[in-house]
Structure 1
Amino acid sequence: MDKISLVVPCYNEEAALPLFYKEADRVTREMDFCAFEFVFVDDGSKDGTLPILRELAQKDERVRFVSFSRNFGKEAGMLAGLEAATGDFVALMDADLQDPPALLPALYKAVTEEGYDCAATRRTTRDGEPPIRSFFARCFYKLINKISDADIVDGARDYRLMRRSMVEAILSMREYNRFSKGIFGWVGFKTKWVPFVNVERVAGETKWSFWKLFKYSLEGIVAFSTAPLAIASVLGFVLCVIAFIYICVILVKTLAFGDPVGGWPSLMCVVLFLGGIQLFCTGILGQYLAKTYLETKKRPSYLVRETEEGVK
C-alpha cells in the first residue's frame, strides 16, 4: 500500500484548520487504497493554531506536526514539511482550502497510472483577486519564464503530488534563499498540470499582501536569473555611448556657435537621469550581494521548538 504524506504549512490558521482537517480526513478515508500521514508545519503562529495541532495529533495517529520557534516564512515551512514527510508520495497544500483536497485522487492517478513524476495544479481563473494583483502576477510569470531556466506555469499553485525521487531532488537543493515555484521547475521531472477553478479562502485572511508578493517575485527573479546583472551592464554601456555622443555635440556646438546661455535645465536632466540609472544598477548589484551574504552565513532555514513528540 502506497503511503502519501500531506504537507500543510500553517500560519495563523486557527479558523481554517478544523475545516481543512474535516475535508482532508473525508477525502483520505475515501482513498482507502492508500495510507496517509498529515504533516502540519506551524510557522510561528500567534493564534490558536498550535493548540489545535496538538489536539489533532492526540486524536488521530496519522497527524504529525512541526512547530517553529518563530515565523520563518512559507518557504521554510514547505522545506520542513518535505524533510519531515516519510511517504512514498508527498503532497503540498495550503490549510485554507484554496487547494481542494478533493483533487487528491486525480493527482494520485496521474502519478501512479499515467507515468508522471508529479501532478501539479494551476488556477484557470483568478476570481476574487484584485485586478491589479492579477495583472502583475501574469506579468511576473511571463518575465520569469523569459529570463530564467525555471519553467513556471501561469496560475501554478504549490499544491502538487510528487514521487519520492522528486522530493529528494528538491531537498538536495540547500540554498537559504528558496523560491519553490522555481525549484519545482528547475529540477525537471515529468509533470502533469491539473487545472481547476480558483477557490476563495474558507476562513481567515490571506497573509500575502501586494507588497509581500512583490518582494517574493523579486526573490524569484534574483534566485533564478542573472539577467538583471546583464541588463545593468548593457544599460551602462549604452549610457556611456550616449554620453560620449552628447559630449561631442556640446563641443561642436560651443566651438561653432559659442555658449550664449548656460544649459542648466539640460545639465540637471542629464545628471538626474544618469544618477538614477547608477542607483538602479547599484541596487541590482546589492540584491545579488545580499543573497550571497545570506548564503555564506550557512544559517538554518528554520528552528524547531516543538513536534507531536513534545518540546525540543
Structure 2
Amino acid sequence: MNVPQEVFEKLSVFYPMWNEEDYIERALEFGRRACEGLIEAGDIRDYELIVIDDKSTDRTGEIADRLAAADAHIRVIHHERNRKLGGSMKTGFAAATGDLVLYTDADLPFDMAELPRAVRLLREYQVDIISAYRFDRTGEGSLRAVYTWAYNGLIKALFGVKVRDINFAFKLIRTRIFEHVELESEGSFIDAELIIRATRLGYEIMQMGVDYFPRTRGESTLSSPGVIGTILREMWSLRSDLGGIRTVER
C-alpha cells in the first residue's frame, strides 16, 4: 500500500548571530542550497532563512541586510540590545513562519547536506524534534569535551532527559510544539530547556548522529564563567518550577 508522503509547506532556518561577519555569507549560501534541494525533492514547498543579529558590533548586520535585499527568502531581525543565545533563539522561534523550523549556528558545525536526512527521519518516524549529536567531539578540545560530558550528565540526573549532546546547534522542530512549549531561558541553557519542556509534554524526540566541524574563526563564549553561571542559575530555576523527574502526556 502506498502511503502519501507528508510534504511540509515551509521550512524556516534561523541563525542566532553575534559578530559573525566571517561566517554569515557562507551560512546563508549553504542554507539556501540545502533548502532548494528539499524543494526539488518535493519535501518542502517554500523556505525562509532568518538572521537574528544580536546587536553585533562588527559588520554582521550590514552584510545581512545586503543579502536580504538581494534574496526574498532572507529575513533579518536586529536586536536593539544584546540578548545572548537564549534571547536570540526565542526571537527566532517566534519569527519562524514555517511548519518546520531548524536552528543552527552561523559557523555551521555540521554539514547542511544532513538536513534532508533529518527531514526524512522526522517525517517517516512521525516525531516532533530531531536533535543531532556529534560523532566525534575531539576537534573542540579536551576541556570543552569534559564540560559537555558533565553538563549532559547533570541534565540527565536532574530532569531524567536522555539526550546526547543536548546543546548541539542542530535541532529540527515541528513549530506546532510552540503552541504548548514556552521558553524562558535567556542564556545557553535554552537548548536543554527546549528538550526538557518538550519531553515533559510528551513530544517525541529522535536523535541523529552527524560529523562535527569545529569553529575555525571567531570566538565561542560557551565555556566562559559568566555563561556557565547563567546556565546553572537557569537550570536550578527550571528544576524548581517543574519539581522533579516526570513526564506529562499531552
Q: Please report the TM-score for the alignment, with normalisation by the length of structure 1.
A: 0.67
Check conservation: 2:83, 2:186, Cα contact below 8 A.
Answer: no
- 1:162 alignment counterpart: 173
1:63 to partner: Cα distance: 0.6
Structure 1 stretches lacking a partner, 5+ long = 227-312
1:3 to partner: Cα distance: 0.4
Structure 2 stretches lacking a partner, 5+ long = 1-7, 241-250
Percentage of matched positions with identical amino acids: 24
Q: Which amino acid aligns with 2:71?
A: D
Runs of 4+ in 1 over 4 A off after TM superposition: 173-178
Check conservation: 1:90, 1:167, Cα contact below 8 A.
Answer: no
Higher-Rg structure is 1
Q: CA RMSD in A?
A: 2.4
- 2:149 alignment counterpart: 138
1:124 to partner: Cα distance: 2.3
1:31 to partner: Cα distance: 1.4
Aligned runs of 1:197-236 on 2, under 5 Å?
Answer: 197-226=211-240
1:74 equivalent in alignment to 2:79: no
SS of the residue aligned with 1:31? helix
- 1:8 alignment counterpart: 15
Quick one: distance in 1 between partners of 2:149 and 2:37?
A: 36
SS of the residue aligned with 1:125? coil
- 2:32 alignment counterpart: 25
1:118 to partner: Cα distance: 1.1
Count of aligned positions:
227
Match of 1:90 among 97, 101, 121: 101
Quick one: distance in 2 between partners of 1:60 and 1:107?
A: 25
- 1:43 alignment counterpart: 54
1:165 to partner: Cα distance: 1.6
Check conservation: 1:16, 1:202, Cα contact below 8 A.
Answer: no
Aligned runs of 1:147-186 on 2, under 5 Å?
Answer: 147-149=158-160, 151=161, 153-156=163-166, 157-170=168-181, 172-174=182-184, 179-186=190-197
Check conservation: 2:185, 2:234, Cα contact below 8 A.
Answer: no
1:180 to partner: Cα distance: 3.1
Quick one: distance in 2 between partners of 1:176 and 1:204?
A: 22
1:216 to partner: Cα distance: 4.1
Deviations 1:215-271 (A, max 9, x none): 243134313324xxxxxxxxxxxxxxxxxxxxxxxxxxxxxxxxxxxxxxxxxxxxx
